[in-house]
Amino acid sequence: MGMESWIILWKVILIGGISVFAVVAVVVSFFGFLDIKKLLKTLDAEHEQEDPKEANDAPT
């Protein structure tokens, strides 16, 4: 393998690594957003089901 082959190899590895990182970052961000959205819906539903008497007893 000549020097030019090594340069091409490492360029491919670098671009591949950056590409994998970008894809993983997008996927994690997307599913994280969906998870937070689900969490907030669950908290909102639990808050609506809360007994009004208990809500008044809570410290302010």
Instruction: Compute mean pLDDT per 10 residues along the chain, 60 residues long, and list them.
Output: 94 98 98 96 87 61
Domain parsing of the chain, residue ranges: 22-47
To the question of pTM greater than 0.85 for the whole model, the response is no
Amino acid 1: pLDDT: 79
Amino acid 48: pLDDT: 84
Q: How far is CA 6 from the centre of its chain?
A: 35
Kindly give, in sequence order, each residue whose CB lies less than 8 Å from that of residue 42, ignoring residues fewer than 6 positions away.
Answer: none
